[in-house]
Amino acid sequence: MSEDKESAEAIVSEVHKKIRAAFDVFDHELNKTVDVREIGTIIRSLGCFPNEGELHDVIAEIEEEEPTGYIRFEKFLPTMTKVLMERNVGVPSPCTPSTGSPSPLSPLSPTHRVDLPGYHRVFRPIPEDLLLQAFEVLDKQKKGHLELEELTKYMTQEGEPFTQEEMEEMLSAAMDPDKNLIFYKDFVSMMTLDDPR
């Protein structure tokens, strides 16, 4: 039993180190706070990919009662620990139903899931093949790339639109600087992570 406890503590400690490292990159004042606008980038750097609605929910939970525009590390740490433990480890929880059947809100299998109040989502990354299919749908002429204007139009005017800042961030990573084109196969390979499961 104590071996299991030590193992769980080691896992939590490792998760805390990853969260701190990601947070510290954006803690420019070294005062354990980051600009609220950086939270999405920090969460994504930890391998989680919430949509804008989910991101706003997380921010609402970790923001101060009177929003200051900054997020404190001590508020961010427990929230991200829960999300990462749920996503990567599947820590058993007293909230898990005794039936062992998956909740419709949890995409994890019964052996790899935890239902934490308010954390029914795990921000799982989209598989590489699905991302590639999405870009291929946009590439009607099957050129293997998209024009800057073409991608910008799709991403800012369709579905859940990107903000100008999000678009600039995406293009800085996606666009070939010499040809001003987005070679989406390269971009998809670059932005997908190997999921050990």
pLDDT, tens digit (0-9, with 9 covering 90-100), for 168-177: 888 888 889 8
Say whether both 62 and 133 belong to one domain: no
Q: What percent of the chain has pLDDT over 70?
A: 77
Mean pLDDT of all residues in the chain? Answer: 77
Please tell me the total count of domains within the chain: 2
Whether residue 2 lies inside any domain: the answer is: no
The CATH number of residue 175's host domain is 1.10.238.10
Give the domain extent around 84: 8-88
Q: Is the pLDDT score of 84 beyond 70? A: yes
Mean pLDDT value across residues 116-127: 54
| Residue 35 counted as domain residue | yes
Residue 23 lies in a domain: yes
pLDDT of residue 87: 64
In a domain, residue 58? The reply is yes
Pinpoint the alpha helices (H) of the chain.
2-26, 39-45, 52-62, 73-84, 128-138, 148-157, 164-174, 184-191
Residue 176 counted as domain residue: yes
Longest dimension (CA), the chain: 60
- What pLDDT does residue 165 have? 82
pLDDT tens profile 12-67:
899 999 999 999 988 989 999 999 989 988 988 887 878 888 888 999 999 988 88
**What tokens were used for 11?**
């896992």
Among 58, 88, 118, identify where a domain stops.
88
Least confident of 77-86, 117-126, 157-166, 188-197: 117-126
Q: Could you tell me if residue 72 is inside a domain?
A: yes
Does residue 138 share a domain with residue 67? no
- Asked whether residue 109 is domain-assigned, the answer is no
Kindly give, in sequence order, each residue whose CB lies less than 8 Å from that of residue 109, ignoring residues fewer than 6 positions away: 102
Is residue 45 in a domain? yes
